[in-house]
Amino acid sequence: METEWQLKGRCISMSKMAGQKTVLQEYDRYISGLFAPEDDALRSAREEMLRASMPEINVSASEGKLLHLLARAIGAERILEIGTLGGYSTIWLARALPPQGKLISLEIDARYAEIARRNLKSADLAKKVQVRIGPALESLSQLEAENEGPFDLVFIDADKDGYVNYLRKAMPLLREGGLVLGDNTLPDAVLDSAAESGTKRYNAEVSARPDLISILVPVLRSRGIDGLLISIKQTPAPKA
Ligand code: SAH
Ligand code: DHB
Ligand code: MG
């Protein structure tokens, strides 16, 4: 008879083949069942996104809870999100804010932004959240010009080729001790040493920056394993 461990090993190697997602999905269902149950606002945000035929690329409930918890842990009062989609991750993050807190979310697609605003209104978060339409690099320049910083937390989750530039532009807007969170930073493709990607460039840049202290944490997604790159901004030690 197979022991539990043998069974687990077999399932995981099977997951390399066809039956793939199911095992990981079950782990994720276990985690979110206990720690990240969705309420009506989160469920209806996902339903609205499906109704609008938006891509299902929002964070999972468990990753949403992780974002929420990290924001709480640092007492974030001002959050910057790059890549809104339907506002699903936005809801998890904005719910971590105190009453006077504020979240600004950047989205290039006006139709998506409109749906996100509706979902945020249904979640009773319209007062705390501003969705800005436009290419994120331009919006970041505007935020700088308007002196909207400093932020306590920046969540980067838009086009992967833009990540390095978003980071460079967002760093001056982030307070010391603030967090930078990079979504989708552990796709399968990072294991292919021959392949180049925006994600790999971002991971390399973050790992090399002396003003960030970082770790890439694997997270479970419906498609398999992905990751969240977590960084704290610090003042680099002066060179001797
Ligand atoms: N954070 C969301 C998912 C974001 S998906 C969640 O987890 O719920 C990525 C989003 O980034 C898409 O909505 C896409 O339209 C947006 N995007 C892509 N390129 C962009 C750009 N240059 N500027 C701003 N947003 C962009
Ligand atoms: C996908 C997932 C994401 O979280 C994202 O931001 C972009 C794409 C995906 O699964 O394809
Ligand atoms: Mg993402």
Tens digit of each residue's pLDDT (9 = 90 or more) over 44-96: 999 999 999 999 999 999 999 999 999 999 999 999 999 999 999 999 999 99
Tell me the C-alpha distance between 170 and 80, whole Å. 9
Is 142:199 a contact under the CB 8 Å cutoff? no
Residue 152 is encoded by which pair of tokens?
A: 């306590």
Return the pLDDT at 7. 44
Which whole-number Å values give the CA distances from 53 to 40, 47, 48, 114, in the listed order? 20, 10, 9, 14
Tell me the C-alpha distance between 60 and 218, whole Å. 13
Tell me the C-alpha distance between 157 and 82, whole Å. 6
Our mutation pick for probing the ligand 2 site, out of 24, 25, 57, counting the most ligand atoms within 8 A of Cβ, is 57
Return the pLDDT at 78. 98
Tell me the C-alpha distance between 117 and 111, whole Å. 10
The answer, yes or no, to whether any atom of ligand 1 lies below 6 A from the CB of 112, is yes
Tell me the C-alpha distance between 159 and 178, whole Å. 22
Give the global pTM: 0.93
- What would the mean pLDDT of 25-31 be, rounded to a whole number? 93
Ligand 2 atom nearest to CA at 223 = 10
Name the DSSP class of 172.
G
Ligand 2 atom nearest to CA at 85 = 6
Return the pLDDT at 156. 99
Beta-bridge partner residues of 156: 82, 182
- Ligand 1: which residue has its CA nearest to atom 6? 58
Q: Judge whether residue 9 has pLDDT over 70.
A: no
Q: Judge whether residue 8 has pLDDT over 50.
A: no
Q: Judge whether residue 20 has pLDDT over 80.
A: no
The answer, yes or no, to whether any atom of ligand 1 lies below 6 A from the CB of 162, is yes
- Ligand 2: which residue has its CA nearest to atom 9? 57
* Pocket-forming residues, ligand 2, beta carbon under 6 Å: 57, 157, 183-184, 223
Is 170:206 a contact under the CB 8 Å cutoff? no
The answer, yes or no, to whether any atom of ligand 1 lies below 6 A from the CB of 114, is no
Tell me the C-alpha distance between 231 and 179, whole Å. 6
Chain Cα centroid distance, residue 119:
18
**pLDDT grade, residue 221 (50/70/90)?**
confident
